[in-house]
Amino acid sequence: MTATTDGSTGAVPPRTASATSAEAIDDVSLPAAGTDVAQDAAERAIQRATDFLLSAQDAEGWWKGDLETNVTMDAEDLLLRQFLGVQDESVTRAAALYVRGEQREDGTWTTFHGGPGELSTTIEAYVALRLAGDAPDAPHMAKASAWIRAQGGIAASRVFTRIWLALFGWWKWEDLPELPPELIWFPKWFPLNIYDFGCWARQTVVPLTVVSALRPVRPAPFPLDELHTDPRRPNPPAPLAPAASWDGLFQRLDRVLHGMRPLVPKRLRAAAMNAAARWIIERQENDGCWGGIQPPAVYSVIALHLLGYDLQHPVMRAGLQSLDRFAVWREDGSRMIEACQSPVWDTCLATVALADAGLPADHPALVKAADWMLGEQVVRPGDWSVRRPGLQPGGWAFEFHNDNYPDTDDTAEVVLALRRVRHHDPERVEKAVARGVRWNLGMQSKDGGWGAFDVDNTSAFPDRLPFCDFGEVIDPPSADVTAHVVEMLAVEGLSHDPRTRRGVAWLLANQEENGSWFGRWGVNYVYGTGSVVPALAAAGLPGSHPAIRRAVAWLESVQNDDGGWGEDLRSYDDAGGWGGRGASTASQTGWALMALLAAGERESKAVERGVLWLARTQRADGSWDEPYFTGTGFPWDFSINYHLYRQVFPLTALGRYVHGEPFRTRAAEPGQRTAPAAAGVSATLGRTG
């Protein structure tokens, strides 16, 4: 069986499909054949893309594309409103319009464009549409419920889905894993303390301990018998793993916790829940959200409401208002919920792209972007300081408001962006960069790599909990994040610093056998490789280095027949079948070209074909079309379509093709720092980390 154009079925990944719609530039002709075809095409594409990106900048200086995930965000928003009794007819109607529009022909909903139907997502979407008034016997609903039953029904769904259903009595609380609020008191050295979880999981687990302890049930507005394989036995017991396995051990521990639940003193439990509430409230951001992401905000609002905080309490009012800011209203009247928003990330990437495209370093758009980024630096401690108590703050976060959880990835990319701008206050830039570099150096893990939010967040225990059956819950070092930090340190003149060399050694040690690198935060091996090769080159590895040659060979081997690159999210689940394979996309083609150009392959046929693919598929307005998801929240489990990726990465790649690698050719540019000029910075940073 062969794959379809969108890769939605079949066993063979596509090699020739394009992610570009028929609206791509039919009216923009490429130059006639000749030696400068790719150069001319790239220059013309750069001009159009630059104009498009400049037009998308906010008046305050930032960029932000939509962050598209899947309909569970929208379904859970409606479930929250039902639980709190704050339904809004217009919101329900708009959300239902969006959810219906995302249903596939087979009745299912998926977690990424072109992907297979996903059970829990389909269940939550179905329930949301029932709340919106869709009848269970309507054709689209009957098709969905039949598919759900065929996949095992509600009993086969993930724990998070069954928690939402338990809130309305559609599932029994006693048949869910126990999550005691006393976790909040576990010391930081004890296994399964809350700081063993990644920050996104930590912010979710703490409020859910309160919900789990109280086991609330609101009257369900309708039954869901049609979603059970056997309505007479809706809660079948889950099979136990072997007792000698870790999974079996934790399943049996969960049974012990269930048995102990009636024995926990009420005053002890109340004190633990109050401690959890204080922890939650202390981490509420100034705009009312939690960590700048939607799921922890939803669970925090529920937990505080159950503890007696009424909806008019300032904490609750701000929290509910923050949830509305995750909504994107579309021209067709539908309403999509973003899991989070990415203005800092989008702005630093857009700044780099425009600088690579040849925009002057003192261009007003770049200066305005730098001003905004400088104002977003986090200058107070957050949860990261639990493991680095002596480290001074100085990082950047991903979102508009997230002072508790800056990340090393954004910090590295912001520093790289600031170095591309000739700012009117260079002293301010120098101080901000020094703080950011110092903070990132201090966040290096003991193995030499960098995780995104925490140091040495590598405990094997959280993943084993029966509760944690969806997505990553820890934050170990990854190749893409480590690469971005190494690249930043190299640009700051720290290539020979022992900490940078440890990062380089980590990257070399974690190269895959086929020459690629795993992409934790982007899809997947193309993203990892597109991140690592430019970092190794910036750190001084020549293009002839064996690791770089292996990476080049791998990228050339997975180039699609149409000249682009693409990779389907199924590579996280099946690296052998899908690694580096998928419909060509603008962002992934940009990543591959960035790696090949950094490796010195500008004159190669692969680069020429990739450049021409980008020029050929660009739309008339200077943009690219990209329905495919190339961003990653949790590998395989939670996927992201960053709508600005399709603009910034192609422009970066084309700019570097035309103007050369930025950190090799900018030595004479005013307002820029070359690596030798910055070598003395290490003396001012100290030996943190």
Catalytic residue list: 409
SS3 content of the chain, % helix, strand, coil (to 5): 50, 5, 45
Measured CA to CA, the distance from residue 280 to residue 575 in angstroms comes to 39
Q: Angle 476-482-484 (CA atoms, 0-180°, nearest 5)? A: 140
Measured CA to CA, the distance from residue 92 to residue 74 in angstroms comes to 10
- Answer whether 405's CB lies under 8 Å from 291's CB: yes
Residues facing 284 on adjacent strands: 290
Measured CA to CA, the distance from residue 327 to residue 95 in angstroms comes to 10
CB-facing half-sphere around the CA of 203: CA atoms within 13 A: 25
DSSP-assigned states of every residue in 387-413: T-TTPPP--B-SSSS-TT--BHHHHHH
End-to-end CA, the chain: 52
Measured CA to CA, the distance from residue 438 to residue 394 in angstroms comes to 8
Q: Angle 302-307-308 (CA atoms, 0-180°, nearest 5)? A: 100
- Answer whether 527's CB lies under 8 Å from 580's CB: no
CB count in 10 Å sphere of residue 684:
10
- Single out the residue of 653, 566, 86 nearest to residue 349, CA to CA: 653
- Single out the residue of 8, 65, 12 nearest to residue 648, CA to CA: 65
CB count in 10 Å sphere of residue 281:
14
- Answer whether 77's CB lies under 8 Å from 295's CB: no
Measured CA to CA, the distance from residue 34 to residue 40 in angstroms comes to 10
Paired tokens of 412: 């590295």
- Single out the residue of 45, 42, 63, 44 nearest to residue 365, CA to CA: 63
The length of the chain is: 689
Measured CA to CA, the distance from residue 455 to residue 475 in angstroms comes to 8
Paired tokens of 118: 């996903």
